[in-house]
Amino acid sequence: MLFRSSPHGPDRAGCTVTAPSTTRTARAHIEAAWAQISADRLTELVVGMVDIPSPTGEEAPLARWLAGELAAAGLRARYQEIDDRQGNAVGRLPGTGGGEDVLLYAPIDTLTVGDEAEDVPWIGPELRPDMTPRAQVRGAHVIGLGASNPKGHGAPVVAAAEAIAAAGIPLRGDLVVGLAAGGMPTNGRTTRGLTRRNAGQGVGCSFLLEQGVWADHAVIAKPGWAVAWEEVGLCWFEVRVRGAFGYVGSRHRMPYRNPIAHAATVIDALERWFPEYAVRHTDGLVAPQGVVAAVEGGWPRMAAVTPALCRFLVDLRTSPRSTPAQVRREFADALRAITDAHPDVELDWDMVLAVPGTRTPPDAPVVAAAVAAWEELEGRAHAPIVATSGATDANILRSRGLPTARIGMDRIGPDAPLPLDFPAGMNVVDIREAVRLTRHLVHTAVSLCTRERTAS
Protein backbone atom coordinates (compact mmCIF):
# COMPACT_ATOMS: atom_id res chain seq x y z
CA MET A 1 0.00 0.00 0.00
CA LEU A 2 1.36 3.40 -1.00
CA PHE A 3 1.01 6.09 1.63
CA ARG A 4 1.29 9.68 0.58
CA SER A 5 0.56 13.24 1.49
CA SER A 6 -1.84 14.88 -0.94
CA PRO A 7 -2.41 18.60 -0.54
CA HIS A 8 -4.79 19.83 -3.18
CA GLY A 9 -6.96 22.74 -4.16
CA PRO A 10 -10.56 23.62 -3.38
CA ASP A 11 -12.99 20.71 -3.42
CA ARG A 12 -16.42 20.80 -5.04
CA ALA A 13 -17.91 22.38 -1.93
CA GLY A 14 -15.56 25.35 -2.21
CA CYS A 15 -13.37 24.39 0.76
CA THR A 16 -9.72 23.42 0.80
CA VAL A 17 -8.91 20.28 2.75
CA THR A 18 -5.24 19.35 3.00
CA ALA A 19 -4.43 15.76 3.87
CA PRO A 20 -1.55 15.48 6.34
CA SER A 21 1.39 13.19 5.80
CA THR A 22 1.55 9.86 7.62
CA THR A 23 4.69 9.12 9.64
CA ARG A 24 6.62 5.92 9.05
CA THR A 25 5.72 4.67 12.54
CA ALA A 26 2.03 5.42 12.08
CA ARG A 27 2.10 3.63 8.72
CA ALA A 28 3.54 0.52 10.34
CA HIS A 29 0.86 0.61 13.03
CA ILE A 30 -1.92 1.09 10.48
CA GLU A 31 -0.71 -1.82 8.38
CA ALA A 32 -0.40 -4.01 11.47
CA ALA A 33 -4.03 -3.29 12.34
CA TRP A 34 -5.16 -3.74 8.74
CA ALA A 35 -3.70 -7.25 8.86
CA GLN A 36 -6.21 -8.07 11.61
CA ILE A 37 -9.27 -7.14 9.53
CA SER A 38 -11.28 -10.08 8.22
CA ALA A 39 -14.26 -10.17 5.88
CA ASP A 40 -15.46 -13.26 7.74
CA ARG A 41 -15.41 -11.38 11.04
CA LEU A 42 -17.32 -8.46 9.55
CA THR A 43 -19.91 -10.87 8.16
CA GLU A 44 -20.19 -12.46 11.60
CA LEU A 45 -20.69 -9.08 13.24
CA VAL A 46 -23.34 -7.92 10.75
CA VAL A 47 -25.24 -11.21 11.00
CA GLY A 48 -25.10 -11.08 14.79
CA MET A 49 -26.37 -7.50 14.84
CA VAL A 50 -29.17 -8.09 12.33
CA ASP A 51 -30.40 -11.17 14.18
CA ILE A 52 -30.96 -9.12 17.35
CA PRO A 53 -33.94 -6.81 16.69
CA SER A 54 -33.28 -3.22 17.75
CA PRO A 55 -36.17 -0.93 16.79
CA THR A 56 -35.94 2.52 18.31
CA GLY A 57 -36.67 2.27 22.02
CA GLU A 58 -35.78 -1.43 22.29
CA GLU A 59 -32.05 -1.55 21.62
CA ALA A 60 -30.99 -2.99 25.00
CA PRO A 61 -30.42 -6.63 23.90
CA LEU A 62 -28.22 -5.56 20.99
CA ALA A 63 -26.29 -3.05 23.08
CA ARG A 64 -25.58 -5.72 25.70
CA TRP A 65 -24.36 -8.11 23.00
CA LEU A 66 -22.10 -5.45 21.51
CA ALA A 67 -20.65 -4.60 24.92
CA GLY A 68 -19.76 -8.27 25.25
CA GLU A 69 -18.05 -8.30 21.85
CA LEU A 70 -16.01 -5.23 22.76
CA ALA A 71 -15.01 -6.77 26.09
CA ALA A 72 -13.94 -9.98 24.35
CA ALA A 73 -11.65 -7.88 22.14
CA GLY A 74 -9.85 -6.51 25.19
CA LEU A 75 -11.58 -3.14 25.53
CA ARG A 76 -12.92 -1.83 28.81
CA ALA A 77 -16.54 -2.28 27.83
CA ARG A 78 -19.90 -1.82 29.49
CA TYR A 79 -23.58 -1.61 28.82
CA GLN A 80 -24.93 1.87 29.52
CA GLU A 81 -28.59 1.70 30.53
CA ILE A 82 -30.98 4.47 29.51
CA ASP A 83 -34.11 2.68 30.69
CA ASP A 84 -35.24 -0.93 31.00
CA ARG A 85 -35.44 -1.35 27.19
CA GLN A 86 -32.99 1.15 25.78
CA GLY A 87 -29.23 1.45 26.22
CA ASN A 88 -25.82 2.02 24.65
CA ALA A 89 -22.64 -0.04 24.31
CA VAL A 90 -19.42 1.71 25.30
CA GLY A 91 -15.81 0.59 24.96
CA ARG A 92 -12.45 2.13 25.71
CA LEU A 93 -8.94 1.08 24.68
CA PRO A 94 -6.69 3.16 26.93
CA GLY A 95 -3.68 4.94 25.56
CA THR A 96 -0.35 5.44 27.27
CA GLY A 97 -0.96 9.16 27.82
CA GLY A 98 0.11 12.35 26.13
CA GLY A 99 -2.22 11.91 23.19
CA GLU A 100 -5.76 12.81 22.12
CA ASP A 101 -8.83 10.60 22.41
CA VAL A 102 -10.90 9.53 19.39
CA LEU A 103 -14.52 8.39 19.52
CA LEU A 104 -15.62 5.94 16.82
CA TYR A 105 -19.39 6.13 16.81
CA ALA A 106 -22.45 4.55 15.19
CA PRO A 107 -26.13 4.29 16.11
CA ILE A 108 -27.71 0.83 16.39
CA ASP A 109 -31.50 1.28 16.05
CA THR A 110 -33.40 0.43 12.89
CA LEU A 111 -35.64 2.90 11.07
CA THR A 112 -38.52 0.44 10.80
CA VAL A 113 -39.50 -2.29 13.25
CA GLY A 114 -39.54 -5.53 11.26
CA ASP A 115 -43.01 -6.38 12.57
CA GLU A 116 -45.99 -6.44 10.22
CA ALA A 117 -48.25 -5.11 12.96
CA GLU A 118 -46.30 -1.83 12.98
CA ASP A 119 -44.76 -1.57 9.50
CA VAL A 120 -47.52 -2.76 7.14
CA PRO A 121 -49.17 -1.24 5.12
CA TRP A 122 -47.04 1.92 5.32
CA ILE A 123 -43.83 0.13 4.28
CA GLY A 124 -45.68 -1.78 1.53
CA PRO A 125 -48.25 -4.57 1.24
CA GLU A 126 -45.96 -6.99 3.10
CA LEU A 127 -42.50 -7.22 4.60
CA ARG A 128 -39.85 -8.20 2.08
CA PRO A 129 -37.10 -10.53 3.36
CA ASP A 130 -34.74 -7.57 3.74
CA MET A 131 -37.26 -5.82 5.99
CA THR A 132 -37.12 -8.45 8.75
CA PRO A 133 -34.49 -8.92 11.50
CA ARG A 134 -33.24 -12.23 10.14
CA ALA A 135 -29.89 -12.16 8.39
CA GLN A 136 -29.26 -13.93 5.11
CA VAL A 137 -25.75 -14.25 3.67
CA ARG A 138 -25.60 -14.27 -0.11
CA GLY A 139 -22.04 -14.27 -1.35
CA ALA A 140 -20.43 -10.95 -0.46
CA HIS A 141 -23.73 -9.51 0.75
CA VAL A 142 -25.79 -9.72 3.93
CA ILE A 143 -29.54 -9.04 3.78
CA GLY A 144 -31.73 -8.13 6.74
CA LEU A 145 -33.30 -5.21 8.56
CA GLY A 146 -30.66 -2.52 9.05
CA ALA A 147 -27.91 -4.72 7.54
CA SER A 148 -26.37 -1.66 5.90
CA ASN A 149 -27.76 1.29 7.85
CA PRO A 150 -27.02 1.32 10.69
CA LYS A 151 -25.70 -2.17 11.50
CA GLY A 152 -23.40 -2.53 8.52
CA HIS A 153 -21.78 0.71 9.67
CA GLY A 154 -21.70 -0.24 13.35
CA ALA A 155 -19.93 -3.51 12.55
CA PRO A 156 -16.84 -1.73 11.06
CA VAL A 157 -16.65 0.43 14.20
CA VAL A 158 -16.41 -2.74 16.30
CA ALA A 159 -14.06 -4.43 13.82
CA ALA A 160 -11.76 -1.40 13.71
CA ALA A 161 -11.47 -1.37 17.51
CA GLU A 162 -10.85 -5.12 17.53
CA ALA A 163 -8.12 -4.79 14.89
CA ILE A 164 -6.33 -1.97 16.73
CA ALA A 165 -6.51 -3.88 20.01
CA ALA A 166 -5.28 -7.12 18.41
CA ALA A 167 -2.34 -5.33 16.78
CA GLY A 168 -1.17 -4.08 20.18
CA ILE A 169 -0.59 -0.54 18.91
CA PRO A 170 0.86 1.78 21.57
CA LEU A 171 -1.76 4.50 21.35
CA ARG A 172 -1.06 7.79 23.09
CA GLY A 173 -4.71 8.78 23.31
CA ASP A 174 -7.67 6.55 24.16
CA LEU A 175 -9.71 4.88 21.47
CA VAL A 176 -13.36 5.17 22.53
CA VAL A 177 -16.23 3.24 20.95
CA GLY A 178 -19.83 4.43 21.19
CA LEU A 179 -22.72 2.36 19.81
CA ALA A 180 -25.85 4.23 20.75
CA ALA A 181 -29.59 3.81 20.83
CA GLY A 182 -32.13 6.23 19.44
CA GLY A 183 -30.27 7.50 16.41
CA MET A 184 -33.15 7.39 13.93
CA PRO A 185 -35.36 10.40 13.04
CA THR A 186 -38.35 9.25 15.03
CA ASN A 187 -40.21 10.03 18.19
CA GLY A 188 -40.91 7.22 20.63
CA ARG A 189 -43.16 4.34 19.65
CA THR A 190 -46.22 3.66 21.81
CA THR A 191 -46.67 -0.05 21.07
CA ARG A 192 -45.73 -3.04 23.27
CA GLY A 193 -45.97 -0.95 26.41
CA LEU A 194 -43.42 1.68 25.36
CA THR A 195 -44.15 5.11 26.83
CA ARG A 196 -41.17 7.45 26.35
CA ARG A 197 -41.56 10.00 23.59
CA ASN A 198 -37.88 10.97 23.58
CA ALA A 199 -36.54 7.64 22.31
CA GLY A 200 -35.07 8.79 18.97
CA GLN A 201 -33.58 11.93 17.44
CA GLY A 202 -30.12 11.19 18.93
CA VAL A 203 -31.20 10.50 22.51
CA GLY A 204 -28.64 7.72 22.99
CA CYS A 205 -25.81 9.85 21.62
CA SER A 206 -26.80 12.73 23.87
CA PHE A 207 -26.97 10.44 26.91
CA LEU A 208 -23.58 8.96 26.03
CA LEU A 209 -21.97 12.38 26.14
CA GLU A 210 -23.87 13.58 29.19
CA GLN A 211 -22.63 10.57 31.13
CA GLY A 212 -18.98 11.36 30.49
CA VAL A 213 -18.13 9.39 27.37
CA TRP A 214 -16.05 12.08 25.70
CA ALA A 215 -13.15 12.53 23.31
CA ASP A 216 -11.14 15.16 21.44
CA HIS A 217 -12.31 13.98 18.02
CA ALA A 218 -15.26 11.92 16.75
CA VAL A 219 -15.85 9.87 13.61
CA ILE A 220 -19.38 8.73 12.86
CA ALA A 221 -19.97 5.81 10.50
CA LYS A 222 -23.01 6.49 8.34
CA PRO A 223 -23.65 6.01 4.61
CA GLY A 224 -21.64 7.81 1.94
CA TRP A 225 -18.13 6.91 0.75
CA ALA A 226 -16.62 10.35 1.23
CA VAL A 227 -15.68 12.46 4.20
CA ALA A 228 -18.35 14.93 5.31
CA TRP A 229 -17.79 17.75 7.77
CA GLU A 230 -21.27 19.24 7.72
CA GLU A 231 -24.84 18.07 7.30
CA VAL A 232 -28.42 19.23 7.46
CA GLY A 233 -30.53 19.54 10.56
CA LEU A 234 -34.27 19.11 10.69
CA CYS A 235 -37.37 20.97 11.81
CA TRP A 236 -40.72 19.25 12.11
CA PHE A 237 -43.98 21.15 11.84
CA GLU A 238 -47.53 20.08 12.64
CA VAL A 239 -50.11 21.87 10.50
CA ARG A 240 -53.76 21.76 11.59
CA VAL A 241 -56.37 22.59 8.96
CA ARG A 242 -59.81 23.49 10.35
CA GLY A 243 -63.21 22.69 8.88
CA ALA A 244 -66.74 21.75 9.90
CA PHE A 245 -68.02 18.46 11.23
CA GLY A 246 -70.57 17.39 8.64
CA TYR A 247 -72.49 14.60 6.94
CA VAL A 248 -72.58 13.50 3.32
CA GLY A 249 -76.39 13.48 3.38
CA SER A 250 -76.51 17.18 4.21
CA ARG A 251 -73.54 18.42 2.19
CA HIS A 252 -75.89 20.23 -0.22
CA ARG A 253 -78.17 21.58 2.51
CA MET A 254 -75.74 22.99 5.09
CA PRO A 255 -72.42 24.89 5.12
CA TYR A 256 -69.71 22.54 3.84
CA ARG A 257 -66.07 23.00 4.87
CA ASN A 258 -64.06 19.81 4.46
CA PRO A 259 -60.64 20.19 6.16
CA ILE A 260 -59.32 17.15 4.29
CA ALA A 261 -59.92 18.86 0.95
CA HIS A 262 -58.41 22.09 2.26
CA ALA A 263 -55.40 20.20 3.64
CA ALA A 264 -54.86 18.79 0.16
CA THR A 265 -54.72 22.35 -1.18
CA VAL A 266 -52.10 23.31 1.41
CA ILE A 267 -50.06 20.14 0.84
CA ASP A 268 -50.06 20.65 -2.91
CA ALA A 269 -48.80 24.22 -2.46
CA LEU A 270 -46.09 23.09 -0.02
CA GLU A 271 -44.94 20.40 -2.46
CA ARG A 272 -44.32 23.18 -4.98
CA TRP A 273 -42.59 25.32 -2.32
CA PHE A 274 -40.16 22.66 -1.05
CA PRO A 275 -37.96 22.67 -4.20
CA GLU A 276 -37.79 26.47 -4.08
CA TYR A 277 -36.71 26.29 -0.45
CA ALA A 278 -34.05 23.69 -1.34
CA VAL A 279 -32.59 25.88 -4.07
CA ARG A 280 -32.30 28.84 -1.70
CA HIS A 281 -30.42 26.80 0.89
CA THR A 282 -28.21 24.62 -1.30
CA ASP A 283 -24.56 25.37 -0.58
CA GLY A 284 -21.50 23.70 0.89
CA LEU A 285 -22.24 19.98 1.13
CA VAL A 286 -26.00 20.28 1.64
CA ALA A 287 -29.24 20.66 -0.31
CA PRO A 288 -31.96 20.61 2.38
CA GLN A 289 -35.24 19.04 1.28
CA GLY A 290 -38.78 18.97 2.67
CA VAL A 291 -41.63 16.46 2.67
CA VAL A 292 -45.15 16.02 3.98
CA ALA A 293 -44.80 12.77 5.88
CA ALA A 294 -48.08 11.90 7.60
CA VAL A 295 -51.73 12.97 7.33
CA GLU A 296 -54.48 12.33 9.88
CA GLY A 297 -58.15 13.25 9.68
CA GLY A 298 -61.55 11.75 10.21
CA TRP A 299 -62.86 8.37 11.38
CA PRO A 300 -61.97 5.41 9.14
CA ARG A 301 -65.04 3.64 10.56
CA MET A 302 -67.34 6.49 9.42
CA ALA A 303 -66.79 7.47 5.83
CA ALA A 304 -70.15 9.24 5.88
CA VAL A 305 -68.92 12.19 7.94
CA THR A 306 -66.29 14.86 7.54
CA PRO A 307 -64.15 15.86 10.55
CA ALA A 308 -63.58 19.32 11.95
CA LEU A 309 -59.81 18.90 11.73
CA CYS A 310 -57.17 17.43 9.44
CA ARG A 311 -53.53 17.61 10.48
CA PHE A 312 -50.28 16.68 8.83
CA LEU A 313 -46.57 16.66 9.61
CA VAL A 314 -43.76 18.27 7.64
CA ASP A 315 -40.05 17.43 7.86
CA LEU A 316 -38.05 20.41 6.63
CA ARG A 317 -34.31 19.85 6.50
CA THR A 318 -32.12 22.82 7.42
CA SER A 319 -28.73 24.16 6.44
CA PRO A 320 -25.96 24.45 9.05
CA ARG A 321 -26.11 28.15 8.18
CA SER A 322 -29.75 28.51 9.26
CA THR A 323 -31.10 28.45 12.78
CA PRO A 324 -34.41 26.75 13.65
CA ALA A 325 -35.84 30.20 14.43
CA GLN A 326 -34.97 31.39 10.91
CA VAL A 327 -36.45 28.26 9.34
CA ARG A 328 -39.60 28.64 11.44
CA ARG A 329 -40.09 32.17 10.08
CA GLU A 330 -39.51 31.00 6.52
CA PHE A 331 -42.10 28.24 6.94
CA ALA A 332 -44.52 30.78 8.42
CA ASP A 333 -44.08 32.99 5.36
CA ALA A 334 -44.82 30.02 3.09
CA LEU A 335 -48.04 29.17 4.92
CA ARG A 336 -49.09 32.81 4.98
CA ALA A 337 -48.69 33.00 1.20
CA ILE A 338 -50.79 29.86 0.82
CA THR A 339 -53.63 31.14 2.98
CA ASP A 340 -53.51 34.53 1.27
CA ALA A 341 -54.00 32.72 -2.05
CA HIS A 342 -56.76 30.52 -0.57
CA PRO A 343 -58.71 32.64 1.93
CA ASP A 344 -61.20 29.84 2.55
CA VAL A 345 -58.42 27.76 4.18
CA GLU A 346 -58.19 28.09 7.96
CA LEU A 347 -55.13 26.64 9.69
CA ASP A 348 -52.73 26.95 12.58
CA TRP A 349 -49.43 25.22 13.16
CA ASP A 350 -46.47 24.63 15.48
CA MET A 351 -42.83 23.67 15.16
CA VAL A 352 -42.73 20.41 17.11
CA LEU A 353 -39.08 19.37 16.74
CA ALA A 354 -35.77 21.06 15.96
CA VAL A 355 -32.30 19.57 15.57
CA PRO A 356 -29.98 22.22 14.11
CA GLY A 357 -27.61 21.39 11.27
CA THR A 358 -23.95 21.52 12.22
CA ARG A 359 -20.51 21.98 10.74
CA THR A 360 -16.93 21.10 11.68
CA PRO A 361 -14.25 23.30 10.10
CA PRO A 362 -12.80 21.36 7.17
CA ASP A 363 -9.28 22.04 8.44
CA ALA A 364 -10.02 20.36 11.79
CA PRO A 365 -7.58 17.51 12.56
CA VAL A 366 -10.29 14.83 12.45
CA VAL A 367 -11.46 15.94 9.00
CA ALA A 368 -7.89 16.15 7.71
CA ALA A 369 -7.09 12.68 9.09
CA ALA A 370 -10.25 11.21 7.58
CA VAL A 371 -9.49 12.80 4.21
CA ALA A 372 -5.93 11.44 4.36
CA ALA A 373 -7.26 7.95 5.04
CA TRP A 374 -9.72 8.22 2.14
CA GLU A 375 -6.99 9.37 -0.23
CA GLU A 376 -4.67 6.54 0.84
CA LEU A 377 -7.38 4.02 0.07
CA GLU A 378 -8.56 5.63 -3.16
CA GLY A 379 -5.22 6.80 -4.54
CA ARG A 380 -6.68 10.12 -5.64
CA ALA A 381 -7.68 13.52 -4.30
CA HIS A 382 -10.69 13.48 -2.05
CA ALA A 383 -14.05 14.23 -3.70
CA PRO A 384 -16.80 15.11 -1.22
CA ILE A 385 -20.42 14.21 -1.77
CA VAL A 386 -22.48 17.37 -2.22
CA ALA A 387 -26.22 18.19 -2.24
CA THR A 388 -26.93 15.94 0.75
CA SER A 389 -30.09 16.04 2.85
CA GLY A 390 -29.55 13.25 5.36
CA ALA A 391 -29.13 14.03 9.06
CA THR A 392 -27.31 11.87 11.61
CA ASP A 393 -26.10 11.92 15.19
CA ALA A 394 -23.12 13.92 13.92
CA ASN A 395 -25.34 16.90 14.71
CA ILE A 396 -25.53 15.81 18.35
CA LEU A 397 -21.79 15.27 18.55
CA ARG A 398 -20.91 18.60 16.95
CA SER A 399 -23.50 20.57 18.89
CA ARG A 400 -21.90 19.30 22.11
CA GLY A 401 -18.49 20.52 20.96
CA LEU A 402 -16.88 17.43 19.41
CA PRO A 403 -15.22 18.07 16.03
CA THR A 404 -16.75 15.30 13.92
CA ALA A 405 -16.12 13.73 10.52
CA ARG A 406 -18.60 11.42 8.84
CA ILE A 407 -17.63 8.50 6.59
CA GLY A 408 -19.49 5.45 5.35
CA MET A 409 -20.03 2.93 2.62
CA ASP A 410 -21.05 3.40 -0.97
CA ARG A 411 -24.43 2.21 -2.25
CA ILE A 412 -24.83 -1.42 -3.24
CA GLY A 413 -23.88 -2.18 -6.84
CA PRO A 414 -25.47 -4.16 -9.68
CA ASP A 415 -24.17 -7.47 -8.30
CA ALA A 416 -26.28 -7.11 -5.14
CA PRO A 417 -29.03 -9.72 -4.60
CA LEU A 418 -31.69 -6.98 -4.59
CA PRO A 419 -31.97 -3.96 -6.88
CA LEU A 420 -31.21 -0.65 -5.21
CA ASP A 421 -34.16 1.20 -3.73
CA PHE A 422 -34.50 3.01 -0.41
CA PRO A 423 -35.17 -0.07 1.76
CA ALA A 424 -32.51 -2.15 -0.03
CA GLY A 425 -30.06 0.69 0.55
CA MET A 426 -30.79 0.35 4.27
CA ASN A 427 -31.03 -3.42 4.47
CA VAL A 428 -28.39 -4.88 2.12
CA VAL A 429 -24.69 -4.54 2.89
CA ASP A 430 -21.71 -5.39 0.71
CA ILE A 431 -19.08 -6.86 3.05
CA ARG A 432 -16.34 -5.71 0.68
CA GLU A 433 -17.48 -2.14 1.34
CA ALA A 434 -17.54 -2.86 5.06
CA VAL A 435 -13.91 -4.01 4.88
CA ARG A 436 -12.93 -0.78 3.13
CA LEU A 437 -14.77 1.29 5.73
CA THR A 438 -13.04 -0.63 8.52
CA ARG A 439 -9.66 0.09 6.97
CA HIS A 440 -10.57 3.77 6.79
CA LEU A 441 -11.64 3.90 10.44
CA VAL A 442 -8.43 2.16 11.51
CA HIS A 443 -6.30 4.60 9.52
CA THR A 444 -8.09 7.65 10.92
CA ALA A 445 -8.13 6.46 14.53
CA VAL A 446 -4.50 5.33 14.59
CA SER A 447 -3.32 8.55 12.95
CA LEU A 448 -5.03 10.65 15.61
CA CYS A 449 -4.46 8.43 18.66
CA THR A 450 -0.74 7.95 18.08
CA ARG A 451 0.18 11.60 17.67
CA GLU A 452 1.24 13.81 20.56
CA ARG A 453 -1.37 16.04 22.09
CA THR A 454 -1.15 19.56 20.75
CA ALA A 455 -1.00 22.50 23.12
CA SER A 456 -4.39 24.08 23.72
Per-residue pLDDT reduced to its tens digit, 73-117: 999 999 999 999 999 999 999 999 999 999 999 999 999 999 999
How many C-beta atoms surround the C-beta of residue 418 within 10 A? 17
What's the predicted TM-score (pTM) here?
Answer: 0.94
Contacts of residue 279, defined as CB under 8 A and 6 or more positions apart, other chains included, come to none
Residue 341 to residue 207: CA distance in whole angstroms: 45
Calculate mean pLDDT across residues 247-274.
97
Q: Cα dihedral angle (251, 255, 257, 261), rounded to 10 degrees?
A: 30
Question: Quick one: pLDDT band at residue 187, thresholds 50, 70, 90?
Answer: very high
Q: Are strands 246-247 and 346-355 parallel, antiparallel or unpaired?
A: unpaired
Mean pLDDT over each residue of the chain, to the nearest integer: 95
Residues 316-365 have pLDDT tens digits of 999 999 999 999 999 999 999 999 999 999 999 999 999 999 999 999 99
Residue 240 to residue 141: CA distance in whole angstroms: 45
Q: What separation in angstroms does the CA of 364 have from each of 18, 119, 191, 312?
A: 10, 41, 43, 41
Q: What separation in angstroms does the CA of 393 have from each of 188, 329, 385, 411, 456?
A: 16, 25, 18, 20, 26
Question: Quick one: pLDDT band at residue 21, thresholds 50, 70, 90?
Answer: low
Residue 160 to residue 357: CA distance in whole angstroms: 28
Q: Which residue type does 57 have?
A: G
Q: Look at residues 322, 318, 291, 294 and name the one whose alpha carbon lies nearest to residue 233.
A: 318
Burial zone of 429 (CB within 10 Å; 0-12 exposed, 13-18 middle, 19+ buried):
buried
Continuous segment of H or E residues that includes residue 220: strand 217-221
Query: Does the pLDDT value for residue 12 go beyond 50?
Result: no
Continuous segment of H or E residues that includes residue 153: helix 151-167
Beta bridge partners of 96: none
Percent of the chain clearing pLDDT 90 (strictly above): 93
Calculate mean pLDDT across residues 192-220.
96
Residues 125-176 have pLDDT tens digits of 999 999 999 999 999 999 999 999 999 999 999 999 999 999 999 999 999 9
